[in-house]
């Protein structure tokens, strides 16, 4: 299985979007850069901000497209093409409506589920066969909110939701070493396996 050479966080540029649910991918890749001691710099030829990070002995590109969400493919294709990075060597980190806050999933390929960032990357690369780390943000219906999806993703999560997202973001950073070593199945197993809660203590007789 191919090792990951490019990690892309999806989001929208501009301070007005910094804390919105749609920027969960930016939150994740920013946290990874801090952990690695890497700094993002504006790269005009890659249409966004890029950083070179050394993680677990391997050199990896980090990318935040600066094109807004629905044109994310332009940045991804530019960097991947320049460094000859194959789709199967790319991990895209994005917000996921179909998972609740506090959950994440890793997968290769598949549909876009209406996510405009994924749709544009698939079109730009000519294939959907890249890796995705799906960070759950919940859906307005399941969270009991009377919001349209477009409005929901462009607003910040409630305090309890943000705490759950941040905790899962921290936990999911733990799979990076397996991803860049090409152990994607091990990464999936680690991410998707959760310890069972301890049984409640027996009631006194």
Long-range pairs for 44-49 at CB < 8 Å and ≥24 separation?
45/78, 45/82, 46/75, 46/78, 46/79, 46/82, 47/74, 47/75, 47/78, 48/75
- Look up 56 and say whether it is catalytic: no
Integer Cα distance of 90 and 77 in angstroms? 10
Q: Catalytic: which of 22, 47, 94, 115? A: 22
- Is residue 191 within 8 A of residue 106, CB to CB? The reply is yes
- Tokens 């876009």 belong to 112
- Residues annotated as catalytic are 22
């Amino acid at each position: 299985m191919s090792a990951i050479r490019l990690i892309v966080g999806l989001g929208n540029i501009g301070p007005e979007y910094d804390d919105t649910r749609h920027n969960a991918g930016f939150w994740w890749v920013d946290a990874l850069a801090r952990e690695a001691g890497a700094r993002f710099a504006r790269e005009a030829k890659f249409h966004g901000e890029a950083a070179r990070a050394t993680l677990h002995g391997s050199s990896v590109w980090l990318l935040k497209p600066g094109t807004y969400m629905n044109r994310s493919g332009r940045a991804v294709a530019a960097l991947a093409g320049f460094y000859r990075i194959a789709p199967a060597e790319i991990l895209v980190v994005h917000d996921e409506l179909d998972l609740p806050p506090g959950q994440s999933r890793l997968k290769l390929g598949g549909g876009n589920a209406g996510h405009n960032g994924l749709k544009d990357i698939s079109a730009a690369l000519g294939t959907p066969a890249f890796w995705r780390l799906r960070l759950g943000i919940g859906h307005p219906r399941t969270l009991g909110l009377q919001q349209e999806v477009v409005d929901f993703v462009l607003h910040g999560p409630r305090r309890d939701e943000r705490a759950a997202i941040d905790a899962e973001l921290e936990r999911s950073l733990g799979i990076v070493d397996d991803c860049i070593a090409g152990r994607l199945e091990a990464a999936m197993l680690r991410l998707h396996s959760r310890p069972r809660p301890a049984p409640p203590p027996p009631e006194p007789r």
